[in-house]
């Protein structure tokens, strides 16, 4: 191992590999490695300019116990930035310390790597590079020893019930309702970013942690330390970016359904809300309002005057957001030009088709700046210039007919090497375009994102999830882990997306419980595909804005008077909380804190809070205990130390204990912390 100190960095070279470690913000290090070359200066998620304090770097020798019992000297080096320190031994194995205590060590089980008493003959190394056949990339595996008793959180959104990810294997790729954001928060006081957009996986096993990139040119890791999750999120978001300030005029109710088929349907719903005295901040126009996918315009037969529609909605104080998909049908007026100019993703073999829902489609290539320019110009001309305020960038993973990543390619390279950044570049086409047009508060809705997506005005929702209590329970941990991965603007389809029968009393009970939860989340948004599908299409053609089915009504009053009264009551709660909600968005902008937070985020010194997965904090003062089971009308709630008052009462309850509380259908348990 050869050590060098250069440009405030520790550089280590061994067996063709270059390892570079340098300070990267407060109490943080960036660690890169490449095989057969120096490391590349690719930011990926680390886009922000951060302070790089002068590191303490040392190269020295340590005693090495050889196999014959003798002692010799071997080189070792360390680099320290505030509270975090990395030590590299003579075999290139890195150990990370927080305040002098080991928090993470690379897994190495080979005889020549460590001192004899910890050596193994297994020939398993810490950083394993395997060349991808026929290419310049490598399949990379990086291994770490497991820490006994450690809990791990973050990593984005995976549809499962467990908040603590220890013991889980996670795909590092996107699917509908799965969002890979490779930042983990540890109960040991550190955060770890796998700064690599390659398709891969991570396993947080009991015996080791293993990160894999299926095709990449280098390893890139960011590790940071803090007193608790709040410190860790502050350091992480300083490096990858924070959400802008969220506009107060969109903190209320968003109205949506699958799908409003005509501009008159949209206007009639808006007028009905106005008549009811309920202000909707934003109304959403869903998919297939276009002639063909990739036309990126209204079908004039059903949307004859979009500007007049937007003008009337704006007079009511309602913003308008419209669905845009990244798929382009071969029949689209734009397909030929986009294919000729190389603006679409490519297949390595076989047919060009990459998406097959309601057409023979190919997705756009947003890694190509010409593609981003092209789709923004189309959407500006056909939507923005009419007064559309925002864009619902659906299918933004992108959804694929088959997730054969090895068969796809973008301008940036093989899909295996970069696919996780697709939704971020897709969103930037609109964020950058809207900013260039002078839009101060860009708010777009997406089904996916990646590390740092929060800085591009992305509200991310949890995808097309089923309308079940089991799925509802999963959405809580999805939102909490998304927040811990740096994404504060997160929401769900209230009631789930897929409903067979809106008249089913069990569904209506679920809808109310989900709605109550959504009131205490970042965005309150009505949406869903509501069966039964007995509404005839508007058109006999097999294309255009009138042929596809629509779901049942999904307005607040659509589910009976009793349920309407409950939703109206909780709508008023939401409006009354707007000053408090604004303070949460401000905190997210200033220090990266999530809007909804695990209990341990606010009470990191309370061991009980690290085990709670069915209640959460809505900001620093509001404790929320949703109801996740059918016909459940009471539940246990843990109140941390301090004084608490249940919302709607004046009773002061001493914390530090579990209590049993009633939860009738119209009253979800919510408690406010007293000063």
Mean pLDDT, residues 208-228? 98
d(CA 609, CA 476): 15
Does 193 have pLDDT greater than 70?
yes
2 forms bridges with which residues in the sheet?
13
Letter string b/e over residues 63-91, b meaning 16 or more CB atoms within 10 A of that residue's CB: ebeeeeeeeeeebbbbbbbbbbbbbbbbb
- Euclidean distance between CA atoms 139 and 416, whole angstroms: 10
Calpha distance 445→430 (Å, rounded): 11
Residues 6+ away with beta carbon under 8 Å from 422: 174, 366, 367, 396, 397, 398, 410, 448
CA atoms within 13 A on the CB side of 243: 30
Three-class SS state of 638: strand
Phi, psi of 172 (to 5 degrees): -100, 75
Cα separation, 453 vs 427, whole angstroms: 8
The dihedral over CA atoms of 296, 300, 305, 310, expressed in degrees to the nearest 10, equals -30
Report how far residue 285's alpha carbon sits from residue 502's, in angstroms, rounded to the nearest whole number: 21
pLDDT for the residue numbered 63: 87
Q: Give pLDDT, residue 134.
A: 81
Total count of residues recorded for the chain = 675
- The residues facing 250 across adjacent strands are none
Phi, psi of 645 (to 5 degrees): -125, 125
Quick one: average pLDDT of 413-435?
98
CA distance 202 to 208: 11
> Could you give the CA distance from residue 1 to residue 97 in angstroms, rounded to a whole number?
21
Cβ neighbours, 10 Å, residue 504: 14
Residue 469 has phi, psi (to 5 degrees) of -65, -35
Three-class SS of residue 636?
Answer: strand
Mean pLDDT, range 560-564, rounded to an integer: 98
Rg value, the chain, Cα: 26
441 is catalytic: no
What's residue 118's pLDDT? 54
Catalytic residue selected from 231, 329, 397, 667:
397
Does 394 participate in catalysis according to the annotation? yes
Contact 59, 3 (CB under 8 A): yes
CA neighbours closer than 13 Å in the CB half-sphere of residue 346? 15
Catalytic residue among 27, 220, 394, 602: 394
Torsion of CA 48, 579, 458, 337, to 10 degrees: -120
Residues 95-139 pLDDT 10s? 999 999 999 999 998 865 444 455 567 899 999 999 998 888 999
CA–CA distance, 186 with 154 (Å, rounded to integer) = 9
What is the DSSP-derived secondary structure letter of residue 478?
Answer: H
Q: Which fold has domain 2-240?
A: Immunoglobulin-like (2.60.40)
Q: What is the CATH number assigned to the segment(s) 598-673?
A: 2.60.40.1180
- How far apart (Å, rounded) are the C-alpha atoms in residues 289 and 546? 8
pLDDT at 120: 64
Average pLDDT over residues 184-208: 98
Look up tokens 């209204």; give the residue.
298
- Across the strands, what pairs with 205? none
Q: What does the mean pLDDT of the chain come to?
A: 96
Choosing from 464, 493, 614, 667, which is the catalytic residue? 464
Confidence (pTM): 0.97
Q: Say if 2-240 and 598-673 have the same CATH topology.
A: yes
Check whether 68 has a pLDDT greater than 70: no
Sheet architecture: strand order including 190-194 = 2-6, 9-14, 17-23, 28-35, 218-225, 190-194, 179-186, 152-157
The structure tokens 């005693």 sit at 63
Contact 430, 376 (CB under 8 A): yes
pLDDT (0 to 100) of residue 631: 98
Paired sense of beta strands 280-285 and 253-255, if any: parallel
Q: Are 31 and 104 in contact (CB under 8 A)?
A: no
Q: What is the mean pLDDT of residues 63-89?
A: 88
Instruction: State the average pLDDT over residues 254-267.
Output: 97
Least confident of 114-118, 136-140, 350-354, 394-398: 114-118
Q: Region 612-632: what's the mean pLDDT?
A: 98
Closest CA to 183 of 412, 486, 432: 486
The two structure tokens encoding residue 246? 């969220």
Is 299 assigned a catalytic role?
A: no
Helix/strand/coil for 328: strand
Is pLDDT of 411 > 80?
yes
- Strands 127-131, 361-363: pairing is unpaired
Q: Where are the domains of the chain?
A: 2-240, 253-323+370-393+422-584, 598-673
Which architecture characterizes domain 253-323+370-393+422-584 according to CATH?
Answer: Alpha-Beta Barrel (3.20)
């Amino acid at each position: 191992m050869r050590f060098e100190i250069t440009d405030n960095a520790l550089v280590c070279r061994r067996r063709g590999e270059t390892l570079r470690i340098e300070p990267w913000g407060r109490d943080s290090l960036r660690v890169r490695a490449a095989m057969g070359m120096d490391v590349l200066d690719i930011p990926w998620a680390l886009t922000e300019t951060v302070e790089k304090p002068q590191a303490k770097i040392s190269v020295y020798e340590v005693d090495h116990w050889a196999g014959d019992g003798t002692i010799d000297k071997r080189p070792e080096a360390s680099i320290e930035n505030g509270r975090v320190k990395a030590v590299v031994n003579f075999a290139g194995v890195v150990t990370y310390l927080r305040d002098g205590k080991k928090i993470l060590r690379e897994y190495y089980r080979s005889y020549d790597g460590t001192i004899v008493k910890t050596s193994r003959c297994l020939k398993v190394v810490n950083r394993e590079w395997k060349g991808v056949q026929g290419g310049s990339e490598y399949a990379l595996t990086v291994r770490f020893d497991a820490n006994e008793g450690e809990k791990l959180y973050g990593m984005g959104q995976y549809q499962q019930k467990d908040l603590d990810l220890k013991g889980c294997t996670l795909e590092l790729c996107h699917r509908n309702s799965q969002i890979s954001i490779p930042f983990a928060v540890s109960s040991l006081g550190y955060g770890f970013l796998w700064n690599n957009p390659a398709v891969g996986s991570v396993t947080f096993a009991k015996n080791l942690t293993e990160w894999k990139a299926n095709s990449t040119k280098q390893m890139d890791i960011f590790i940071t330390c803090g007193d608790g999750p709040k410190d860790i999120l502050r350091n992480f978001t300083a490096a990858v970016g924070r959400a802008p300030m969220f506009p107060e005029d969109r903190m209320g109710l968003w109205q949506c359904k699958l799908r409003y088929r005509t501009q008159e349907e949209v206007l009639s719903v808006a007028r009905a809300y106005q008549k009811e005295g309920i202000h909707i901040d934003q109304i959403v126009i869903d998919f297939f309002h276009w002639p063909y996918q990739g036309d990126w315009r209204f079908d004039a037969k059903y949307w004859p005057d979009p500007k007049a529609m937007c003008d009337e909605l704006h007079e009511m104080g309602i913003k308008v957001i419209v669905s845009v998909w990244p798929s382009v049908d071969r029949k689209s007026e734009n397909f030929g030009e986009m294919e000729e100019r190389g603006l679409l993703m490519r297949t390595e073999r076989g047919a060009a088709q990459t998406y097959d829902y309601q057409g023979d489609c190919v997705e756009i290539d947003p890694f190509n700046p010409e593609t981003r320019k092209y789709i923004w110009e189309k959407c500006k001309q056909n939507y923005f210039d009419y007064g559309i305020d925002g864009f619902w960038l659906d299918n933004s993973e992108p959804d694929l007919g088959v997730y054969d990543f090895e068969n796809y390619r973008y301008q940036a390279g093989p899909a295996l090497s970069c696919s996780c950044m697709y939704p971020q570049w897709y969103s930037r086409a609109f964020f950058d375009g809207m900013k260039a047009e002078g839009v101060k508060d860009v708010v777009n809705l997406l089904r996916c994102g990646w590390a740092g997506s929060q800085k591009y005005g992305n509200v991310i929702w949890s995808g097309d999830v089923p309308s079940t209590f089991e799925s509802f329970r999963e959405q809580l941990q999805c939102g909490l882990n998304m927040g811990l991965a740096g994404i504060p603007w997160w929401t769900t389809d209230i009631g789930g997306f897929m409903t067979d029968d809106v008249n089913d009393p069990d569904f209506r009970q679920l809808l109310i419980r989900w709605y109550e939860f959504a009131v205490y989340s970042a965005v309150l948004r009505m949406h869903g595909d509501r069966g039964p599908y007995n509404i005839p299409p508007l058109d006999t053609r097999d294309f255009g804005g009138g042929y596809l089915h629509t779901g049942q009504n999904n307005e607040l009053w659509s589910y009976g008077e009793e349920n309407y009264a409950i939703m109206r009551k909780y709508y008023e709660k939401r409006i009354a909380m707007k000053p408090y909600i604004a303070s949460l968005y401000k905190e997210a902008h200033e220090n990266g804190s999530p809007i909804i937070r695990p209990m341990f985020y606010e009470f990191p010194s309370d061991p009980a809070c690290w085990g709670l997965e069915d209640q959460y904090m809505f900001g620093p003062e509001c404790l929320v205990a949703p109801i996740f089971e059918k016909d459940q009308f009471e539940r246990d709630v843990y109140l941390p130390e301090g004084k608490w008052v249940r919302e709607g009462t004046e009773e002061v309850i001493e914390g530090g204990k579990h209590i049993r509380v009633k939860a009738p259908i119209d009253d979800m348990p919510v408690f406010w912390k007293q000063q």
